[in-house]
Amino acid sequence: MSIIYCCLILNKEQVKIAESSTNTLFDMQIKSLLPQIFKNTVNDRIEFDSYLLTYTRSKEVIYICVSPKKLGDEKPRYFLELLIKKLNSKDIGLYEEIERRKENKTLGLIKKLQGPIDNQINYFNSGFEDANDSIINIQKDVDEIKRDMRLNTAKQIEGMMNLKDNLLTTSDNLKVQAKIFQKNSNETKKWTRFCCKPTVQKYLIITGIILTVFLIYYVIAKVRCDSFNAFCSKV
């Protein structure tokens, strides 16, 4: 068992206004520890015998729970946080109930609070609270995974868009180069077609022969007569 006993005591009047239905034998022990509780900080714990008394002191109420020492001090503190939140909800309205009783001068045990306190103790001791925490932690992990997946997907989409832009730029450049190549190819084809005509080929051959004969004549003239006249008379 985690939480053994729980009670609420008014700060100023030091009157107990609510308690759990089990282990009321701690009543005298708690009364003897009240002076120490008022001297300590707002949140603290006190060890006695094999038990641990954990309390939270607000402006109006001292929230107290008793648990075995072996349980440690974290779970009792957590239990009180949950209990305070529950008792101060709109459904129960602890402080409104306290004010009404002060006005009517009927301070004492508020019986309707015993049920919610017992339910919270049973719920906490059953382990449902730990299971709920585990579910919450799992949900946090799932949310983090979803967030990471969304970020990675966004980065991949951004990378794909950049790749698309690069491909479009490269494609445009290739189109320009292809047009230039096509133009040069057309010019080459025109020249090739011109050179390959029979008439043009004939004139090119004749021109080549004439140039070759002239070059031979020039070489003979230069060697034999050292002039342009190859038929000079040598003594």
Residue-wise pLDDT tens digits, 84-122: 999 998 888 898 988 988 888 888 888 899 999 999 999
Alpha-carbon span 59 to 95, nearest angstrom: 11
Residue 120, classified by CB atoms within 10 Å of its CB into exposed (0-12), middle (13-18) or buried (19+), is: buried
| Comparison of pLDDT for 162 and 120, the residue scoring more | 120
Whether 13 and 93 share a structural domain: yes
Q: How confident is the model at residue 176 (pLDDT cuts 50, 70, 90)?
A: confident
Residue 132 included in any domain: no
Residue 89 included in any domain: yes
Tell me how many domains the chain contains.
2
Residue 135 included in any domain: no
The position carrying tokens 């051959």 is: 205
Pairing of strands 43-48, 16-19: unpaired
Alpha-carbon span 33 to 31, nearest angstrom: 5
Alpha-carbon span 30 to 27, nearest angstrom: 5
CB atoms within 10 A of CB 95: 14
Residue 223 included in any domain: yes
Is the pLDDT confidence value at 3 over 50?
Answer: yes
Residue 92 included in any domain: yes
Alpha-carbon span 161 to 167, nearest angstrom: 10
Whether 115 and 206 share a structural domain: no
Alpha-carbon span 202 to 57, nearest angstrom: 120
Q: How confident is the model at residue 133 (pLDDT cuts 50, 70, 90)?
A: very low
Give the domain range for residue 92. 5-126
Residue 121 included in any domain: yes
Q: Which helix (H) or strand (E) holds 65?
A: strand 61-68
Q: Average of pLDDT values for 135-148?
A: 59
Most confident listed range (35-39, 146-150, 158-162, 216-220):
35-39
Looking at 64, 96, 126, which one is the last position of a domain?
A: 126
Looking at 126, 147, 163, which one is the last position of a domain?
A: 126
Is the pLDDT confidence value at 168 over 90?
Answer: no
Q: Which residues pair with 68 in a beta bridge?
A: 51
pTM of the predicted model over 0.75: no
Is the pLDDT confidence value at 128 over 70?
Answer: no
Task: Look over the chain and give the mean of its residue pLDDT values, rounded to a whole number.
Answer: 80
